Structure 1
Amino acid sequence: MSGALLDHRATCACGRRIATANRRIAHARALLATPSAPGVAAATSEPPAELWPADRVEGVGRIGCVPVGTPVLHAPTRHFSGPVDLLRPLTERMVTTLGRAGGIGLAANQVGADVRVLVHGLADRAPGVLVNAELLSSEGWYHHREGCLSLNLPGSRAVVGRPRKVLVRALTPTGHRVLIQAGDDLARVLQHEIDHLDGIEYVQRLTGSEADRVYKAMEAAGLDVDVMPPTPYSAAP
């Protein structure tokens, strides 16, 4: 990761900042200084040239959002290696689309951009725009109902089991490196959007009767479920 170190922006599970005097900050600094693991897809230094039309409504996607079944949504996005300032038009578009579509989180490939950027609506707990976000660790387990702006289909909302707490590393729009310790709602939103950036739709995390119900609803609507193979957490309780 590039950019200056911003160690005091790490947060606890409730969203409070970890003070630099905290004894854990040395460990946090070490994590921030550790190079990111290579992504599945190649990196890019160029901002996206084209986006999904902002007013377009197609299939099961909400306004301005790519619907499931579109290739860009089902493949890993690329890490961004250029100056983060170049992503401003993209992030502004994403924030606008998130508000219009009525969601709480949005990944760049949901607006057609093959780059590792997410935005969310919990900016009081963590930076609202994150570049090259990666999940470093997780613990615990809890269930919560989720939906998706790219899957606006009756009956598709479902209870998803995910880790309760996560540690995420990312860049802010100013180029600072941050660690975010998140729990509950923030952890769920970050995991949902990071999954998107890895080419995974939330329905792929479902198990049991919820998976059966939602996959049947998607098949009945004529969606190609083969692009969304079940991908449950291997350590799920």
Structure 2
Amino acid sequence: MSDEVHTEAHGQVAEPQEKLDPEVRARREAALKLVRKYGDPVLRSRALEIDRFDDALVDEVRRMGRLMHDAYGIGLAATQVGVMHRVLVYRTELEGSVAALVNPVLEWSSKDKESSEEGCLSLPGVSVEVERPVHVRVRALDERGQPILVEASGLEARVIQHEMDHLDGVLILDKTSRDQRKQAMRALREALEPRPAAA
């Protein structure tokens, strides 16, 4: 699915923000300010392979996991925080454990595909239908450089594909219909327009 969490339509926040505890809401808003938004050139750039597995990378993954958690997301790519590394973090449940994939490579994807709504922390207010393979096999490394093979289906497969797209500078706007793209651009303009200062 997407960067953001939802129960049915992938991409939305798990519960309305008004219901969030004020401290949690403040943490979420602070986290979202650190996520690069549509229009930032880094979101259209291809990330670079990691060749150094050190404490700095472990810290980077930990920071990304914390930011994703605070932002109520279920996936985050390094490019979304302005870091040009082929690193992503994800989880399939709001309180689930965070998995990290470094230098992920899609080895195989199923012929059967499914359309579902996706949102993105970098595209506030946007939710579009995206068709993706239902099953994928991805080879990657963890933050310590150990090989990982992930065989994922359904939501997990969708999240991984969404975040891998980010590492290649691809957004959900590129994978939806022309009509949905036009509506999304309208929603984005509204969401990203600076609010007038209160008198």
TM over 0.5: yes
Cα deviation for residue 86 of structure 1 reads 3.2
| TM-score normalized with structure 2 length | 0.73
Matched, 1:133 2:104: yes
Matched, 1:80 2:50: yes
Cα deviation for residue 220 of structure 1 reads 6.2
Pick the structure with greater CA Rg: 1
8 Å CA contact 1:145–1:158 kept in 2: the answer is: yes
8 Å CA contact 1:56–1:64 kept in 2: the answer is: no
Superposed structure 1 runs of 4+ greater than 6 Å apart: 55-58, 123-127, 220-223
8 Å CA contact 1:122–1:128 kept in 2: the answer is: no
Question: Matches of 2:38 and 2:85 in 1, distance apart?
Answer: 17
* Residues 74 and 56 of structure 1: CA distance in aligned 2, closer, same or farther (over 3 Å): farther
Secondary structure in structure 1 of the residue aligned to 2:33: coil
Amino acid at match of 2:63: R
Secondary structure in structure 2 of the residue aligned to 1:81: coil
Cα deviation for residue 137 of structure 1 reads 1.8
Aligned counterpart for 1:151 among listed residues 105, 114, 123: 123
Hey, what does 2:10 align to over in structure 1?
none
Question: Matches of 1:107 and 1:77 in 2, distance apart?
Answer: 10
Question: Matches of 2:180 and 2:103 in 1, distance apart?
Answer: 31
Question: Matches of 1:205 and 1:92 in 2, distance apart?
Answer: 30
Cα deviation for residue 158 of structure 1 reads 1.4
Aligned counterpart for 1:116 among listed residues 74, 81, 86: 86
Greater fraction strand = 2
Greater fraction helix = 2
Identity of aligned residues (%): 35
Secondary structure in structure 1 of the residue aligned to 2:131: strand
Hey, what does 2:159 align to over in structure 1?
189
Residue deviations 1:50-81, cap 9 Å, x none? xxxxx8979xx923211111111111000001
8 Å CA contact 2:135–2:154 kept in 1: the answer is: yes
Matched, 1:207 2:196: no
Question: Matches of 2:105 and 2:183 in 1, distance apart?
Answer: 30
Hey, what does 1:235 align to over in structure 2?
none
Amino acid at match of 1:150: S
8 Å CA contact 2:53–2:143 kept in 1: the answer is: no
Amino acid at match of 1:146: E
Hey, what does 2:15 align to over in structure 1?
none
Question: Matches of 1:219 and 1:72 in 2, distance apart?
Answer: 19
* Residues 150 and 222 of structure 1: CA distance in aligned 2, closer, same or farther (over 3 Å): closer
Residue deviations 1:7-43, cap 9 Å, x none? xxxxxxxxxxxxxxxxxxxxxxxxxxxxxxxxxxxxx
Cα deviation for residue 90 of structure 1 reads 0.9
Q: CA RMSD in A?
A: 2.8
Cα deviation for residue 127 of structure 1 reads 6.9
Aligned residues: 165
**Structure 1 residue ranges without an equivalent (≥5):** 1-54, 224-237
Question: Matches of 2:132 and 2:154 in 1, distance apart?
Answer: 9
Hey, what does 1:198 align to over in structure 2?
168
**Structure 2 residue ranges without an equivalent (≥5):** 1-26, 194-199
